[in-house]
Amino acid sequence: MGFRVDEWGLRAIADEVSLIVTELVTNAVRSVPDSMIRVRFTREVGCVLLAVWDASDAMPVARPLVPDVRPDPMALEPGHEEGGRGLHLVRALASECGACKTEPSGKWVWAKVAAG
C-alpha cells in the first residue's frame, strides 16, 4: 500500500493511510473472524479513500474516551481484551469517515485521507 501512495505522489499521508487501514481491517476481522472481508483502496482528487467491507450487520461504535486513562498492567496478558479506540484514531486522522449498510447483509466502513 505504501508504494502505491508514493506512486500517487501522496507520501505525506502514507502513515495516516496505513494506520487507518490497519484499524478498519482489525475491526472487520474482530467483527467476523471466520468470514471474508473486502478492502478498497482508491485515489480520488486530493485524497485516498479506504473502505473495508464485512458481513456483519452491526454498525461500528466507538467506545467513550476516558479522560483519566491509567496504564493497565493486564493489557498484554492473553485473553485481556482492551480496545474500542480505533475509531477515534480513524476520526482524528481522516478528513471524512462513515459506514453504510449493504444488501442483503454487511457494511462498508470507509475513511478519506486528504493530502495537505
Count up the domains in the chain and report the number. Answer: 1
57-92 confidence digits (pLDDT tens): 999 988 776 666 666 666 566 665 556 678 889 999
Q: Is the full-model pTM beyond 0.85?
A: no
Could you list the residue range(s) of the whole structural domain that residue 18 is in? 2-62+84-114
The DSSP call for residue 15 is: H
pLDDT given at position 73? 65
**Is 24 inside any structural domain?**
yes
Q: Supply the CATH number for residue 21's domain.
A: 3.30.565.10
99-116 confidence digits (pLDDT tens): 999 999 999 999 999 997
pLDDT given at position 48? 96
Rounded to an integer, the average pLDDT of 6-25 is 93
pLDDT given at position 24? 96
